[in-house]
Amino acid sequence: MEKQKIKMAVYWGAACGGCCVSVLDVHETLFDIVAAADLVFWPIALDTKYEDVEAMPDGHIDLTLFNGAIRNSENEHMAKVLRAKSRVLVAYGSCAHMGGIPGLANFSTKEEIYCRVYDESESTLNPDKSRPLVACEAGEGVLELPEFYNDVRSLADVTEVDYYIPGCPPQTERLVEVFTAIVTGAELPPHGSVIGAGNKAQCDECIRKKNAHKKITKFNRPWEVTDDGETCFMEQGILCMGPTTRTGCDYRCIEGNAPCRGCYGPTPDVSDPGGKMMSAIASIIDEKESGPIDEVLDGLVDPAGYFYRYSLPVSFLRRAVPRNR
Amino acid sequence: MEKLRIGVYVCNCGTNIARVVDAEAVAGFALSLPNVVLAKTYRYMCSNPGQEMIARDIKENKLDRVVVAACSPNMHERTFRHALQMAGLNQYLLEMANIREQCSWVHKDRTEATKKAMALVQGAVLRVEKHEALESIDAHMCPNVLVIGGGIAGMTAALELADAGNKVHLVEKHSRLGGNIARVDLTAPYFYAARDLLTDRVTRTRNHEHIQVHLDSKVIGLSGYVGNFTANIAKTNGTPEKAGNPVAVEIGNVAICTGYKEFDASRVTHFGYGKLPNVITSFELEKMLKAGKVETREGKMPKYVAIIHCVGSRNHEFHAYCSRVCCMTALKYAHEIKSASPNSYVSDVYIDMHAFGKGHEDFYKRSSQAKTLFLMYDRENRPVIHKAGPKDDCEMLIEVHEKLSGEHIEIPADLVVLMVGMEAREDAKEIAHLANISQDKEGWFIESHPKLEPVATTTDGIFIAGTCVAPKDIPDTVAQARAAAARILARIAKGKIEVDAIYSEVNEDLCSGCRFCNDLCPFNAIEYVEDEKHSHVISALCKACGVCVAACPSSAIKGRHFTDEQVLAQIDGIFAEVAYDQAEPVS
């Protein structure tokens, strides 16, 4: 008797599409996936309508991979619908996990973003200062647009999440491992776990040489030094988020001689990834007086954006406090 | 999980807290918080009845967490931990809210201060919920001791320790034992021969079955922690720079008795030391006295001898401190010179006469009756020595602005003795680095408390005694050496060391071996395990400062009793709204 197929959905919130592409990156394994799963909803590939999903009974879908952050009311609505319809809801990728790159918009307010996009951008002519409306009366009836929120949130901020698969995007191998585990009915980790990633930081796998006397006297942008390809990036003054970031990506960036940007998110016990990394960096700056310390710190370009690149919405900060302009 | 049962105790501290903070209202507020089953105020919570009340409540009300809102934990955390222990509750299930130093003492507005006290209590309650029962650990105490320095202090300590049956390694960098006292003839004020004080000790030290004397040697490495040090001792063969292959010895404690060196008199140019042949230092005079002959460089018996005090001491140019032994030594010289050459004239040129020790004032009195000419000079107006003219019947003339008479006086001298003070040895810095102890601005080793812990240091297991700590005389040096030995013997007798339960620990399942922490620990408590590629905190060495906890980028290092969870809960509690008006006061 043919084994019953599982029902699977892939959906995007505020996302770039990279996560959906990472699913396609399974290449020929896709045939195995299709053999084991019916894809019931996947906007990038299938023409299933929202009404079709809303019409499904609760718990109808076995596995939903939700990628992207929650930027607007449409993202939030679909997050809640898919939660109800799915037995297992996975926050897939950095944006669903921690807010991701779209989460950096929390350094601005909704109005600042609108101002830039609808008034100031070089290609825009908008003398009436028109703004998107949630509802607009037209001859044919009321036209609606999703509401653009002031804050970007992670998936778990709006609904209950069963598992998190980190990465920007997640490594396809990790997806296959998780998928296989679910299909074969292997014992799943505790509810709320990060899966498809290790518990230790990148340095555990990184083969670059690490010194006991780890000190920073100057921060360098990657182009400012000739990387010897062997020494720990931090020891060359190049910021690398590896020391605070989970393994699981096979340290591809570092292997490609680029420092880690932290997309796999913090190791399990880190309360605040950006804060933790700043605290760590501050500990190894090799200056004692405030003047020279300031000089070293001046070499840090956009520290908030660097340290919270993927995690601002889930950090203690959550967002920048709006400035009075 | 069963609900927690927290007791909150708000202290009035007499009126110290109650004058500004409404303690009853704070207790009433505490009672409104989740999991708080009991809240009380009391006049002095730290008193015996206060502590007994807490202990009784823990038993009768089955409390499993306690918050005491009172003074700084620096003051009474230990007291209240003890109260928990009395009731059989783990002592770490306590949290203190400091509503005195951080509240009542620094605020005037009663309403605002009371609100703040409530916020602090709320923080403490939320924090204590996250507390864990912690157990202190025991570490081995090696009974062997390393004594550095073979002078009177080092030998005294070594003999005391060895007589109690402990193995002692005594390291002396010179080729013989005795230190500075071996350079002295008689001692003040009773004229005991230094030789007599030393001979017996040197012999006993050398022959003692439990003492291994390492002469011509120095300690070149010291690793480990209290109870479990390894010292590397190397032969210097007279040239300390060329240390040979070291031997490693296991020891549990260290007594540092490295002594002093005398001030270099040639640094005070106007006394002409090194230029005028008959200007000598006190140690050079001791050499003459030991040889039994006081004479000038030309071999003549000096008719006029002048002794100048405070050379290098008690002035801002060299050392501001008093070297403590020179005044009595100078009086001793006056006696010795007088008895060697009864017709000589001795003048004693001093700033103040410091005669504070036992029998010293008496000695001063006797000396002043022995026809010594005492001349007082001002420390900012030092005597000047120059060569006498051909018509004078003396070698040199000393100009003194005599302070008591106000006269400008010129006195004759054939021999001038400079009372050189004590100063820290050049290699004290090396020792300090080796043993991880501190030096003050003059280079003396710093004790962990100047009054209550005179021979202990901030590094556990490292003790200091004698003139490496500060200038002192022989009785004080011997007392300190015995004190250091007693402290060490007490620890050896206990057989183990209790390590406080609050320390950092590395979760090896999370440590990625990034090595951020490796070079940061001020107590050298962190080691890197090369084979397993992770770092490790030696809990016995850790003082729980938290530097490595802050530095660990992956939160693999945790400060026990100071976890993120605990600290964040406390912050949440402090910043949460306080329903000030709704609290029913508790009396």
pLDDT, tens only, B378-428:
988 889 998 998 988 899 999 999 999 999 999 999 999 999 999 999 999
| Non-local CB neighbours of B337 within 8 Å, separated by 6+ positions | B294, B305, B344, B346
Chain A: give the shortest CA distance to residue B504, in Å: 15
For testing contact with chain B, the best of A217, A269, A285 (most B CBs within 10 A) = A269
Mean pLDDT of the A133-150 span = 94
Could you tell me the pLDDT band of residue B241, with boundaries at 50, 70 and 90? low
Using alpha carbons only, give the angle B48, B53, B54 rounded to the nearest 5 degrees: 100
Task: Please answer whether residues B386 and B410 qualify as being in contact, where contact means their C-beta atoms are separated by less than 8 angstroms.
Answer: no
Which DSSP string corresponds to B261-298?
EE--GGGSGGGTBTTBTTEEEHHHHHHHHHHT----TT
pLDDT computed for residue B243 by the predictor: 61
- Which positions 473-512 of B are in contact with A (Cβ < 8 Å)? 507, 509-512
Helices assigned H by DSSP within chain A: 18-24, 29-36, 50-55, 73-85, 94-98, 110-114, 172-183, 252-255, 273-283, 290-298, 303-307
Residues of chain B found within 8 Å of residue A214, distances taken between Cβ atoms = 514-516, 518-519
Range in B5-9, B251-255, B520-524 the model is least confident about: B520-524
ipTM of the complex: 0.91
Task: Please answer whether residues B548 and B536 qualify as being in contact, where contact means their C-beta atoms are separated by less than 8 angstroms.
Answer: no
pLDDT computed for residue B29 by the predictor: 96
Query: Best-predicted range by mean pLDDT among A150-154, A181-185, A222-226, B71-75?
Result: A150-154
Q: Tell me: the pLDDT tens digits for B68-125?
A: 999 999 889 999 999 999 999 999 999 999 999 999 999 999 999 999 999 999 999 9
Residue A28 burial (CB < 10 Å; 0-12/13-18/19+)? exposed
Q: Do A269 and B533 touch (CB under 8 A)?
A: no
**φ, ψ of residue A138 in degrees (nearest 5):** -130, 170
Q: Which two tokens stand for residue B90?
A: 């783990």
Q: Do A202 and B558 touch (CB under 8 A)?
A: no
Q: Do A269 and B510 touch (CB under 8 A)?
A: yes
Mean pLDDT of the A240-262 span = 93
CB atoms within 10 A of CB B477: 26
Q: Where are chain B's structural domains?
A: 6-134+565-582, 145-259+425-497, 265-422, 501-560
For domain B501-560, give the fold.
Answer: Alpha-Beta Plaits (3.30.70)
Question: Is B518 an interface residue toward A (CB < 8 Å)?
Answer: yes
| pLDDT of B436 higher than 50 | yes
Question: Is A242 an interface residue toward B (CB < 8 Å)?
Answer: yes
Q: Do A214 and B553 touch (CB under 8 A)?
A: no
Angle between helical axes of B282-291 and B326-340 (0-180°, round to 10): 40
Nearest CA in chain B to A213: B519
Could you tell me the pLDDT band of residue A30, with boundaries at 50, 70 and 90? confident
Q: Which two tokens stand for residue B574?
A: 């402090």
Q: How far is the C-alpha of A137 from the C-alpha of A216, rounded, in Å?
A: 60
Task: Please answer whether residues B129 and B569 qualify as being in contact, where contact means their C-beta atoms are separated by less than 8 angstroms.
Answer: yes
Which of B511, B528, B547 comes nearest A283 by C-beta? B547
- Which positions 273-302 of A are in contact with B (Cβ < 8 Å)? 276-277, 279-280, 282-284
**CATH superfamily, with its number, for domain B145-259+425-497:** FAD/NAD(P)-binding domain (3.50.50.60)
Chain B: give the shortest CA distance to residue A166, in Å: 16
Q: What is the mean pLDDT of chain A?
A: 92
Q: C-alpha distances in angstroms, B104 versus A73, B11, B114, B499, B581?
A: 50, 12, 9, 35, 19
Q: How far is the C-alpha of B254 from the C-alpha of B485, rounded, in Å?
A: 10
Q: Is the peptide bond before B450 cis (omega within 30 degrees of 0)?
A: no
User: Would you state the CATH architecture of domain B6-134+565-582?
Assistant: 3-Layer(aba) Sandwich (3.40)
Cα radius of gyration (chain B): 32
Say whether B120 sits in a helix, a strand or coil.
helix
Check if B6-134+565-582 and B265-422 are the same fold.
no
Nearest CA in chain B to A201: B512
Task: Please answer whether residues B55 and B83 qualify as being in contact, where contact means their C-beta atoms are separated by less than 8 angstroms.
Answer: yes
Interface contacts (A, B; CB < 8 Å)? 91
Nearest CA in chain B to A235: B516
- b/e sequence A161-184, b meaning 16+ C-beta within 10 Å: bbbbbbbbbbbbebbbbbbeebbe
Task: Please answer whether residues B206 and B213 qualify as being in contact, where contact means their C-beta atoms are separated by less than 8 angstroms.
Answer: yes
CATH of B265-422, one of 1.10.10.10, 3.50.50.60, 3.20.20.140, 3.30.70.2190: 3.50.50.60
Percent residues over pLDDT 90 in chain B: 84
pLDDT computed for residue B458 by the predictor: 86
Which DSSP string corresponds to B473-519?
-HHHHHHHHHHHHHHHHHHHHH-EEEEPS--EEE-TTT-----SSTT
pLDDT computed for residue B573 by the predictor: 96
Q: How far is the C-alpha of A127 from the C-alpha of A130, rounded, in Å?
A: 8
pLDDT computed for residue B85 by the predictor: 96
Q: Residue B527: name the closest of B509, B513, B512 by CA.
A: B513
Percent residues over pLDDT 70 in chain B: 98
Q: Where are chain A's structural domains?
A: 6-102+150-194, 110-149, 202-314
Mean pLDDT of the A58-75 span = 97
Say whether A282 sits in a helix, a strand or coil.
helix
Residues of chain B found within 8 Å of residue A204, distances taken between Cβ atoms = 512-513, 533
Chain B: give the shortest CA distance to residue A275, in Å: 9
pLDDT computed for residue A1 by the predictor: 44
**Domain A6-102+150-194 class, CATH top level:** alpha beta
Whether the pTM exceeds 0.95: the reply is no
| pLDDT of A101 higher than 90 | yes
Conformational region of residue B227, where left means phi above 0, alpha means psi within -120 to 50, and beta covers everything else: left
The amino acid present at A209, given as its one-letter code, is K
Question: Is B560 an interface residue toward A (CB < 8 Å)?
Answer: no
Q: Tell me: the pLDDT tens digits for A292-325?
A: 999 999 999 899 999 999 999 999 999 988 766 4
pLDDT computed for residue B42 by the predictor: 97
Range in A29-33, B84-88, B461-465 the model is least confident about: A29-33
CB atoms within 10 A of CB A112: 17
- Which positions 105-124 of A are in contact with B (Cβ < 8 Å)? none
| pLDDT of A241 higher than 70 | yes
Mean pLDDT of the B482-497 span = 96
Nearest CA in chain A to B512: A204
**φ, ψ of residue A209 in degrees (nearest 5):** -75, 135
Q: C-alpha distances in angstroms, B575 versus A257, B114, B434?
A: 44, 15, 46
- What torsion, rounded to 10 degrees, do the Cα atoms A143, A53, A191, A100 define? -40
Residues of chain B found within 8 Å of residue A269, distances taken between Cβ atoms = 507, 510, 554-556, 558, 564
- Sheet bearing B345-350, strands edge to edge: B279-281, B415-420, B304-311, B345-350, B373-376
Q: What is the mean pLDDT of chain B?
A: 93
Q: Is the peptide bond before B302 cis (omega within 30 degrees of 0)?
A: no
| pLDDT of B240 higher than 70 | no
- Taking the mean position of all CA atoms in its chain, how far away is CA B580? 48
Q: Do B513 and A267 touch (CB under 8 A)?
A: no
Mean pLDDT of the A50-72 span = 96
Please, which residues bridge with residue A136 across strands?
Answer: A143
Chain B: give the shortest CA distance to residue A5, in Å: 37
Q: Tell me: the pLDDT tens digits for B124-140?
A: 999 999 999 999 888 89
Could you tell me the pLDDT band of residue B585, with boundaries at 50, 70 and 90? confident
| Non-local CB neighbours of B316 within 8 Å, separated by 6+ positions | none
Q: Do A214 and B564 touch (CB under 8 A)?
A: no
Mean pLDDT of the B332-342 span = 89
Task: Please answer whether residues B155 and B170 qualify as being in contact, where contact means their C-beta atoms are separated by less than 8 angstroms.
Answer: yes
Chain B: give the shortest CA distance to residue A165, in Å: 19
Nearest CA in chain A to B566: A271
Mean pLDDT of the B554-572 span = 96
